[in-house]
Amino acid sequence: MTLTRFSVKPLSTMTRTLADVASARRDPDLVIQSARVLSTYSERILADKEIWISGGRIAAVKPAGSYRGGSAKFYDARGGIIAPGLVDPHIHIESSMVTACAYAEAALLNGTTTIFCDSHEIGNVMDVAGVEAMLEDARQAPLSIFLTVPSTVPATSPELETAGGDLTPGKIANLFDKWPEAVALGEKMDFVPVAMGDERSHAILAAALERGRPVSGHVYGREFVAAYAASGVTDTHEAIDREIADDLLEAGIWLFLRGGPPTTAWHSLPHAIKTITELGASHKRIAVCTDDRDADDLLFFGLDWVTRQAVVAGMTPEQAWAMGSLHGATRFGMENEIGGLGGGRRADLVLLTDDLKPVSTWYGGELVVENSKITPVLDAALSSPYRYPEAAYHTVKLPKNLKLTPELPTGPVIAHTIKTELPGIMLGHVTVELEPANDWQAHFDRHGLCFVTVVERHGKSSGNVAHGLLNNFGLKKGAVASSVGHDSHNIIVAGTNQADMQVALDAIEAKQGGACVVMDGKVTAMVPLPIAGLLSDKRVHAVAEEVKALKVEWEKAGCTIPYMGFNLIPLSVIPEIRITDKGLVLVPEMMIAPLFEPA
């Protein structure tokens, strides 16, 4: 069989069959016996139940022993907990460095059966063609994947950054009209222009609102919440503490609590959840999400892990699982299809241990993971992935003979430096007085600096190169580089010398994308990303091993923020200072600043 979301027939064509099965006039296809059922509707665990499944949908949840025998297959849950598959309401597939087909393997191993993805990364590189390629990939993937249409491509004006894509209000409207999977507008990252009434930003909002599509958000700063909500935004995943989380809830905005590896910038859940545990808010309009994961972290810090973190933070297991399944489904109006174990719902199920760890997963009634290993039916589906268009493999277009380091100042100057610190989202603007020196190393040793350079890679300029200085990044020698530079994905290189930085740039160009570490003229680790400079064409475990090796060399190089935080250094919508291919960008002033000024 073809293992996709479309394998399960629409409910409208199955109501008579399901009614017959539920009434015991017809045998189910599958009966899962000896189960405890986690009800996300009543937030209880119900003992001694069995689940009748027909045509990939749930016909009924019955008392144990109700099915007396017949043609149905049986699965013995051995007293384990059966829960609805997890629903991730906000992710970026591209951050995992794998295609949608490959992403499905990790998701299903973690008990996630539905995701809502914002493909603005590939949209920034390839415009509509990239978004539609990912939609085709998603259609072939053995996972329910819906699109929140990229809303902020490019993230800033052409005067501040060069992007490969330009998703205008008209293009966004066409995506909604053409693709049924396009169910919402993706995170509106330009929250300052939205609050200030920018014409283009509000035209994009209108393209979604006129079609009855909900709008997802991305906002920092309590002062922006009121205007943001008034502009039609009704969810966000960026709450970083209990106060802004409380403001967002009271403004009518759904809250997606983002959990991630604690050493990264993606673990705000413990702080934001305090709107419930300390301020007394209800959890009824709160879900959990993963947002960004690399391939390695995707396997170990999936949505199941985030759900368990909600338990650690004070929620009951039943509440936490509802936040991981039913609530995300409800936000997008799909609670009658996914997120619970009611009759007629998709048979997307997970067998759990008592501490909410997935053991087995059913996708549309098909057992795709058993005892934490994928089954042959899933392996077959993953072995025939979607092939991206040829143009996706040729997106890194670099001029030759680039100067990757700034000129050494001959007199005293004030340098505008970018200070990095954990967790890596916010960057500090620190001015440093540089006295004349014989070489850059003297400045590096004295002030803890290194070079950072962004190179335009879309072939849209005559070779834009911007130079900057990182402060506190920790790199003592060599270079690190990535073609994943949110959100326009020009190439970002940090280093201590032109030669190693050039080796890193050449390695990325040769593979048409990737991330690497260079020491003494040699590439010590690399993750090739040949699809749009963002994605690997390998299975998720293979990419995870490459990422793991990259992290080891990254730490050896002394980098003080992780790779995914490094990728955010060009993200010119988050304070205080960023660097794009056009130069240093001051945020929120949204203006270019020089690297040096006279002392």
Q: Which DSSP symbol is given to 222?
A: G
237-249: per-residue pLDDT in tens? 999 999 999 999 9
Question: What percent of the chain shows pLDDT beyond 90?
Answer: 91
Statement: residue 471 has pLDDT above 70: yes
Distance, in Å, from the CA atom of 114 to the CA atom of 4, rounded to the nearest integer, reads: 11
Distance, in Å, from the CA atom of 264 to the CA atom of 300, rounded to the nearest integer, reads: 14
| Phi-psi region at 90: left, alpha or beta (left = phi > 0; alpha = psi -120 to 50) | beta
Whole-number CA gyration radius for the chain? 25
Q: What is the mean pLDDT of the chain?
A: 96
Summarize the confidence of residues 499-513 as an average pLDDT. 98
Distance, in Å, from the CA atom of 143 to the CA atom of 106, rounded to the nearest integer, reads: 10
User: How far, in Å, are 137, 144, 146, 441 from residue 176 at the CA level?
Assistant: 17, 18, 12, 53
How big is the chain, counted in residues? 599
- H/E segment holding residue 455: strand 449-455
Distance, in Å, from the CA atom of 547 to the CA atom of 529, rounded to the nearest integer, reads: 11
Question: What percent of the chain shows pLDDT beyond 70?
Answer: 100
313-352: per-residue pLDDT in tens? 999 999 999 999 999 999 999 999 999 999 999 999 999 9
Statement: residue 285 has pLDDT above 60: yes
Q: How many other β-carbons are positioned within 10 Å of the β-carbon of residue 91? A: 25
440-452: per-residue pLDDT in tens? 999 999 999 999 9
Summarize the confidence of residues 271-277 as an average pLDDT. 97
In the prediction, which pLDDT does 28 show?
Answer: 98
* Residue linked to tokens 């143009």: 391
Q: How many other β-carbons are positioned within 10 Å of the β-carbon of residue 413? A: 18
Summarize the confidence of residues 88-117 as an average pLDDT. 97
Distance, in Å, from the CA atom of 98 to the CA atom of 275, rounded to the nearest integer, reads: 35
Distance, in Å, from the CA atom of 39 to the CA atom of 555, rounded to the nearest integer, reads: 44
* Residue linked to tokens 């992007």: 163
In the prediction, which pLDDT does 227 show?
Answer: 97
Distance, in Å, from the CA atom of 413 to the CA atom of 433, rounded to the nearest integer, reads: 6
Distance, in Å, from the CA atom of 333 to the CA atom of 339, rounded to the nearest integer, reads: 11
Distance, in Å, from the CA atom of 518 to the CA atom of 532, rounded to the nearest integer, reads: 22
**DSSP letter string, 25-89:** SS--SEEEEEEEEEETTTTEEEEEEEEEEETTEEEEEEETT----SS-EEEE-TTPEEEEPEEEE
Q: What is the dihedral of CA 445, 449, 453, 454, to 10 degrees?
A: 160
379-392: per-residue pLDDT in tens? 999 999 999 999 99
137-187: per-residue pLDDT in tens? 999 999 999 999 999 999 888 899 999 999 999 999 999 999 999 999 999
Q: Which DSSP symbol is given to 409?
A: P
In the prediction, which pLDDT does 1 show?
Answer: 46
Distance, in Å, from the CA atom of 480 to the CA atom of 495, rounded to the nearest integer, reads: 6
In the prediction, which pLDDT does 264 show?
Answer: 73
